[in-house]
Amino acid sequence: MNTLLELRNIEKKYGDDVIISKVSFTLAKGTAIAIIGHSGGGKTTLLSIMGLLQRATSGNVLVDAIDIGGLDSYQLANLRGQYLGFVFQRARLINSLTALENVMAPAWFIRRGDKIEQQAKDLLERFGLSHRLDHKPQELSLGQLRRISLARALLLKPPILLADEPTNDLDPALAKEVAECLLTARTEGAGVVIVTHDLNLANQTDQTFHLENGTLKPIIYDNAAS
């Protein structure tokens, strides 16, 4: 099965406001896609539906061919744990835990031995945070919080990675490192969805979509013209 994630005719309303309108989409193994669009256009809403964090008003979401429509919250949490890594636009770290503990949090429920702590430290080192392992979120900058959130999402090598503006608040060198991390997950078979305003990052994915008036439109690059 090559499709990791599928949306069929997804609609999302808040009250009478239609935010997402009949979006259909598939994410294949080993591919990365970008979603761009104006602020308030529904990108975070769409990503949170893909990440099983909120339900659509109508339509179907399938993860590895499992339709989530009939699942209860416990089953959804299990599916999220098994398949999904999420880099939130607002880092959503646990304030009472240190940076290292936050990165390791998804592993608490899945015993994978002592190696996991070293892997968490290695990720934080890769993102230039070795000197901040014991700091709590309130003692960290926005860019540092974002990198910790990314390390947390990558730790268990989930098959589906969803990242909401992952390079915001980062200087160009760190933004490059973060982009590389997300994009190389493809070589291990992951499917990656990146919401971004960073066109340079979008250009490095396999396909870019524009979310406009609640619908997803593929952007066709005219390579011959460049």
Ligand X SMILES: Nc1ncnc2c1ncn2[C@@H]1O[C@H](COP(=O)(O)OP(=O)(O)OP(=O)(O)O)[C@@H](O)[C@H]1O
Binding site for ligand X (CB under 6 A): 14, 19, 37, 39-45, 89
Closer to ligand X by CB, 15 or 113: give it.
15
Report how far residue 72's alpha carbon sits from residue 87's, in angstroms, rounded to the nearest whole number: 23
Please state the closest distance from residue 168 (CB atom) to ligand X, in A: 9
Residue identified by tokens 């936050």 is: 102
Please say which residue, 20 or 116, places its beta carbon nearer to ligand X: 20
Three-state SS across the chain? CCEEEEEEEEEEEECCEEEEEEEEEEEECCCEEEEECCCCCCHHHHHHHHCCCCCCCEEEEEECCEEHHHCCHHHHHHHHHHHEEEECCCCCCCCCCCHHHHHHHHHHHCCCCCHHHHHHHHHHHHCCCHHHCCCCHHHCCHHHHHHHHHHHHHCCCCCEEEEECCCCCCCHHHHHHHHHHHHHHHHHCCEEEEECCCHHHHHCCCEEEEEECCEEEEECCCHHHC
CB 128, min distance to ligand X, A: 25
- Per partner kind, with CB cut-offs from 5 to 8 A, the member of ligand X, Mg ion, none near residue 39 is ligand X
Residues 72-131 within binding reach of Mg ion (CB under 5 A)? 89
Structure tokens at 86: 């999420």
Pairwise CA distance, residues 4 & 194, whole Å: 15
Query: From ligand X, Mg ion, none, which one binds at residue 98 (CB under 5 to 8 Å depending on kind)?
Result: none
- Partner touching 14 among Mg ion, ligand X, none, CB below 5 to 8 Å by kind: ligand X
Q: CB nearer to ligand X: give 3 or 89.
A: 89
45 binds, options Mg ion, ligand X, none, Cβ within 5 to 8 A by partner type: ligand X
To the nearest whole angstrom, how small is the minimum distance from the Cβ of residue 197 to ligand X?
Answer: 7
Which one of Mg ion, ligand X, none is in contact with 19 (Cβ closer than 5 to 8 A by kind)? ligand X
- Report in angstroms how near the CB of residue 126 gets to ligand X at its nearest: 26
Q: Which of 44, 48, 119, 196 binds Mg ion (CB under 5 A)?
A: 44
Binding mask 189-218 for Mg ion (x = CB under 5 A): ------------------------------
- Least distance to ligand X from the beta carbon of 19, Å? 5
Q: Where does this chain bind Mg ion (CB under 5 A)?
A: 43-44, 89
